[in-house]
Chain A
Amino acid sequence: MSLLRGHFSMMLIVDAPTDQAAAQLETDLVQATEALGLVVTVRSIEDVHGSAEPGTPWMISVYGADQPGIVYRVTDLLARNNVNIVDVTTHVTEGDEAVYTMLIEASVPKDTDETLLSRSLANLAEELGVACTARPVDGTVL
């Protein structure tokens, strides 16, 4: 669930008993939420299994002056490096000097040149005029 500048969005993964039930669900939801003026879509998805090879968990913090393109440029760089985004949270403050914060939990493939990845992120951050810290985090589960 997310609330960004007064706009709300929510994404759910549900188990519907049949494909027909899924189609009916969209119709029912659209009808039920008409008064709220929401956009509602329901799509069936493939049951996706996680990648066979677990990567190294990294934490990536990006923050600075709010501007268009931060999410796109950073996630595009990560995608091109086969880095899987496990979780992402963004915040933006209000006012003339809005601060944008993007926090990414990533899974970096084991064969990645980590120095090169760090440098690419640093260069991108400089180009965008934002701060970026990217580091492996301890994935130990107790």
Chain B
Amino acid sequence: MAVRPVVRLPDLAIKKPSLPVGPLSGRHVALAADLVDTMRASPACVGLAAPQIGRHLRAFALDVSNHPKTSNHHGEFVMFDPVVVLADGEDLVREGCMSVPDFTGDVARPDHVVVEGLGLDGKQLRIETAGFEARALLHEIDHLDGLLFLDRVASPSDVFKRRVYR
């Protein structure tokens, strides 16, 4: 378990789709630990997908519990091979991403989802959630398909360059 370097633009490795994990083994447990450790290393980070640490496997870690925008949440969890089985509603929220450090973007996403995958124990994990946690889930699942929020904005005026105050 370690804090890994996060892949960022202009490195286009972040655009490569990830492969299914299948039955879990020890190396997937190690991957989960790396995801959680790397996520925790940045206080503002509420989720991290495997491709963001250079591992193109369908896995991510999430923990929105400390975020001010969170309503309901499921605490810290890691999920493998997620599938969105239901998504409805819509909300428009400004998102950031560790792999796109210089920009934020307004993205419309469903605000109620049901996602199924494998948990760290190798068993079926089903998460039904709404609001900020739903958004974070969809953002991480996008990473597994090589998609960034820049690919989801609906208009040019929905991307903002972060101001760096010196």
Contacts and interface: CB of A to CB of B under 8 A. Distances in A.
Nearest to A62: B150
B83 interface: no
**Prevailing SS type, chain A contact patch:** strand
B156 interface: yes
B154 A137 contact: yes
Interface string A80-122: 0000000111010100011111011100000000000000000
A95 B150 CA distance: 20
B159 A101 contact: yes
18 contacts: A59-B154, A59-B155, A61-B151, A63-B9, A65-B10, A87-B156, A89-B157, A91-B102, A93-B161, A99-B9, A99-B10, A101-B159, A130-B12, A131-B12, A131-B150, A133-B150, A137-B154, A138-B154
Interface of B: 9-10, 12, 15, 100, 102-103, 147-148, 150-151, 153-159, 161
Of all A-B residue pairs in the complex, the 5 with the closest CB atoms, nearest first, are A89-B156, A65-B10, A103-B156, A133-B151, A93-B102
Interface of A: 59, 61, 63-66, 87-89, 91, 93, 97-101, 103-105, 129-131, 133, 137-138
